Amino acid sequence: MGVDKTKKPVYKRWWFIVIAAFFILAVIGAALDDGEKPKVSKETPAVAPVDDGTKEEKMEEKNNEILVTLDVKENVEAGKVGFEGTTNLPSGTELMLSLTNDSGYNAQAKTAVNSGEFKTEQFSNKGEALETGTYSVNITMPIASVQPEDVQKVIGADLENLKGDLVKDDDFGKVVKYSKSIEIEGAEKIDHSALIKSFKEQISAYYNDINNEYDKHKKSLDLATWGEFARGFKEGTTELRNEIDQSALSQIEQIQLSPACGDLQILLTSYAASLQGRGDDEDIKRLKKQIEEAIK
> pLDDT tens digits, residue range 122-132?
999 888 899 99
pLDDT tens-place string over residues 172-217: 889 999 999 999 988 777 788 899 999 999 999 999 999 999 999 9
Phi-psi region for residue 23, left (φ > 0), alpha (ψ -120 to 50) or beta? alpha
- Is the predicted pLDDT of residue 99 greater than 70, yes or no? yes
Is residue 186 within 8 Å of residue 142, measured between CB atoms?
no
More confident residue, 103 or 235: 235
What pLDDT shows up at residue 230? 95
The topology under which CATH files domain 60-184 is Immunoglobulin-like (2.60.40)
Phi-psi region for residue 116, left (φ > 0), alpha (ψ -120 to 50) or beta? left
The CA distance from 198 to 35, in Å, is 118
Q: Mean pLDDT, to the nearest integer, of 244-266?
A: 91
Is residue 123 within 8 Å of residue 107, measured between CB atoms?
yes
The CA distance from 194 to 197, in Å, is 5
Torsion of CA 138, 139, 145, 148, to 10 degrees: 150
What pLDDT shows up at residue 56? 53
The CA distance from 98 to 138, in Å, is 5
Q: Residue 5 is which amino acid?
A: K
Percentage with pLDDT > 70 across the chain: 79
How many alpha carbons lie under 13 Å from residue 24 in its C-beta half-sphere?
6
What pLDDT shows up at residue 170? 87
- Is the predicted pLDDT of residue 151 greater than 60, yes or no? yes
The CA distance from 296 to 196, in Å, is 11
pLDDT-derived band of residue 2, with 50, 70 and 90 as boundaries?
A: very low
Q: Rg of the Cα trace of the chain?
A: 49
pLDDT tens-place string over residues 24-56: 766 666 655 555 555 545 555 555 555 555 555
Other C-beta atoms closer than 10 Å to the C-beta of 293 total 11
Residues 6+ apart with CB under 8 A from 200: 257, 294, 295
The CA distance from 146 to 152, in Å, is 9
pLDDT-derived band of residue 247, with 50, 70 and 90 as boundaries?
A: confident
The CA distance from 201 to 199, in Å, is 5
| Burial class (CB within 10 angstroms; exposed 0-12, middle 13-18, buried 19+) of 244 | buried
| Burial class (CB within 10 angstroms; exposed 0-12, middle 13-18, buried 19+) of 143 | middle
DSSP state of 1: -
Is residue 185 within 8 Å of residue 243, measured between CB atoms?
no
Is residue 113 within 8 Å of residue 92, measured between CB atoms?
yes
Query: Burial code of 94-118, b = ≥16 C-beta within 10 A, e = fewer?
Result: bbebebebebebeeebebebeeeeb
- Is the predicted pLDDT of residue 64 greater than 50, yes or no? yes
Q: Which helix (H) or strand (E) holds 25?
A: helix 14-36
The CA distance from 283 to 274, in Å, is 11
What pLDDT shows up at residue 205? 97
